[in-house]
Structure formats: C-alpha cells, structure tokens
Amino acid sequence: MASRFLFCPLASPGHVFPMIGISLELARRGHSVAFATGTPFRDILREQGIRRVSRGPCDGDSFQLETWWKPTSVALQAAHVLHAASEFRPDVIIGGQLAYGPMLMGEILDLPVAILGFATHLLPKPRRDTNQPDEHPVEAQERATWRLESMSESLQAARSLLHLPPLSQEQAADFLLGDLFLLQSVPDLEPGVGDLPSAVHCVGSCVWEPAVPDEDLAKWLDSTGRLGPVVYMQHGRLFHLGNLWPAVTEGLSGSNIRLVASTGRMDGKPAEPPPFNFFVRDHVPQGQVLPHATAVVSTANTTAVLGSLSFGLPLLLLPGGGEQLEVAAMCERVGAALTLDPKSVTPETFRASLREIDVNPRFRASARQVQSCLSKVQGHLLAADLLESLAEGGTALKGPRPADDFHRRTGRRNRSIADGNVVVTSLL
C-alpha cells in the first residue's frame, strides 16, 4: 500500500542529502515523497524529481542549522511543516535530531514521526540490567546527560511558544526519539547497543550525494598526480574554537601531500590563495575524492566519518562540540582514528599525527574492518523498510510503538490541520 512521506531536514547538506537518498528509495517503491526545508535546496530536489513544498505564499528560508535551538526558528519550522502537511497530507513526518518543528507538528497533528540521527547515539541509554557493570565512560555519560538537559530546555521553550504543555525530562527523552529513530550506525560500532531505547534502530550509513562530478576537482587530481598522496579534509564548525586552517596550511604547505578541503561549514574563510598542493571549495563531493584518498581529516561530523569508513580510510579527527565528540570517541574506540584537541593543535602536531595514521597499519586495518561491517547494511533500504512499517502502524517493529506509551503518559489527542493552524499561525 502506497504511503506519503514528508521529509523535514535542517537546511544543510549533511542533513538534507541522507534524507534524499532514503526518499528516492521510497519513491522507487511507489510511495509519494516531498520535502519541507530551506530554499537553498530547491534546485537539487527538483533535479532529483522530488517535490519541495514551499513555506507558504511568501516562501523563504526555514530550517536554518545555525539557529536550530531558538524557539522562533522552531516556530518557523512548525509553520513550514504545517503548510506542507496541508498541501501534501503525509502519513509520516521525518525530521532530524536537531529539528524540533517536525516533532512538534507530529504531536499537534497526531502523525507518526521518524527521526534520522547521527553516527552514534547522543542521549543517555537506559540501563536494562542494573546488576551489570557500567561499560560506558563517565565523561560520555555526563555529556549525554548534559545534552538531554540542554535539549529538553530548548524543547520546553519551543513548546511554550506553541502553547503546548511542558514535558517531564523522562517524557522529553522519549519525545526526542520520535516514534522511530534511525541511527546511522551498526551494532559493531555502538557501545552498549543492548541498552538502546526500543525506538532506536541501527540502519547503517545513509550517506548520499548527487551524481554530478566536479570537473575542476577531476582536472586538479589529474594534473597534480605526480605530487603524492591525497588527503581529504572536511572542516566543520568548531563553535567557539575558531578554525584549524592556519595549522593545516603551515603544516602541509609545500609538502608532497595533496589536500582536498571542504570548508563551507568552517568558521571564517581560508586565506587566499591556498597553497599549490591544496584544492579548496565550500563543498567538495566526497564520493569523488575518497576513492583517491589515503586518509581523511575531519572535525568528526557524521557525513565525513561515515563516508571515510565506508571507503576503509583512517581518520585524523579534531572534534569541537555537538555530535563531534561522541563520533570521534566511537571512531577512536574501534581503532580507526587518532583524535587531537583542536584547542592545542600546532602545525607540527598536525603533520606528525597525519603521518602516524598513514604509517601505522593498525589504523587502516581497523578502518577496513569497519568498512566490512558497514558494507553488509544498505542504509537507505533498511531505513525505507522501517519507514514503511511505521506508516503501516509499526507492525514490523519490535515491541509496542514508542508513541503508544507516550500518548498515554502525555494525554496527546487527535488534532486536525485546523488545530495546528491555530497553534502555529497565531505566533507568526
């Protein structure tokens, strides 16, 4: 039976592209798909034959990553989802872990909500057997607890703005997982996988990119082939820590290493012009460069890490915050990465660490073991299977649907598009 799926990602390639891959698989199976996201992705969605539903008669930006936690931004997301729901009439809403608007509109409209997560679980795991020794490092537990408290606080502010009742922290923990949570990992990578909440399902990598090669990159790789090995660098945000670019340029300028760098999410712009052995763009198709690379440097964002491990490449990680700390810890735990503190990195430590992951065979061997695990799971297909099950009432999911218990404890009631319109548009 055909269903209707509305995807609502934050307006960033790392959030939009995986959902495009999943939506294309659902469309291939005969389902209807549409997106509610920011205007910068209008063209790429149209090129893939996917409908983007506008924000309304006066279309504009929404789902901004930079302000994802602000109540006014969440209200704008909610208004966009409401308009899209009124036009598209979805059976399921799919959002990201940082997008509260789709979650809240799922509650208001009583629609099932699926959440696409990162490469590791970021919230506290409930202990199923308190007699077992705690295998999780104290720092990781503390970060997970802090993250839940912080996300609950911003969620409560958004709920208040939308005139929704507050949730206890236990209810908020359930709410942030949706009815179905798609974790972009495999059991071999996730510590304490048996402790994951019942809503969470490992689906492997959902990385996707448009099949449009960068001609300038292809020419540069060909013309510089005599120089030496290729290293791909994805420089994401380091928040209050600035950026790594001075240490990177001083450490590798004039060396035989060819650095291909994606810097669109970096705080600040790289100095111009880059060294002759650098290829620098706001966005580099990693699927085009990774087959040529011998190693990857990253701030430990999910897309870059999953792409690297899918090619069996060792990583040098410099995490700053957000998901980065947990993703880096996961990669280091399985032996596929070396981690540096971005606050203290120097050109010398950067260059020496990059050499270490290249010459020490254990990093590459571990990365290839992870590659083998990831290759056994087709992320887009498994995610589509689970979304189909959710649309059909969750019959294939293990145990009761998480939403059922949530409804009982919060008293959530059936609401209509009109109800949602009263809640949301009164604020905008």
Please tell me the chain's helix, strand, coil percentages from 3-state DSSP, rounded to the nearest 5.
45, 10, 40
Structural domains in the chain plus CATH codes: 4-204+377-425 (3.40.50.2000), 215-375 (3.40.50.2000)
pLDDT, residue 394, reads: 60
Cα–Cα distances (Å) from 285 to 7, 160, 212, 261, in that order, read 23, 41, 8, 10
pLDDT, residue 308, reads: 96
pLDDT, residue 95, reads: 98
Element (H, E) at 354: helix 347-359
Distance CA 243, CA 261 (A): 13
Distance CA 232, CA 320 (A): 19
Distance CA 52, CA 49 (A): 10
Is residue 428 within 8 A of residue 75, CB to CB? The reply is: yes
pLDDT, residue 425, reads: 54
pLDDT, residue 413, reads: 40
Closest of 271, 87, 210, 74 to residue 154, by C-alpha: 74
pLDDT along the chain (428 residues), means of 10: 96 96 98 97 97 92 91 95 97 97 97 97 74 60 91 96 94 96 94 89 96 92 92 80 80 91 80 85 92 94 96 95 90 95 91 94 97 96 97 60 40 51 54
pLDDT, residue 263, reads: 87
Render pLDDT for 28-42 as a digit per residue (tens, 0 to 9): 999 999 999 999 999
pLDDT, residue 400, reads: 38
45 contacts: CB under 8 Å, gap ≥ 6: 20, 35, 37, 51, 52
Beta bridge partners of 101: none
pLDDT, residue 266, reads: 79
At residue 164, what is the residue type? L
pLDDT, residue 194, reads: 87
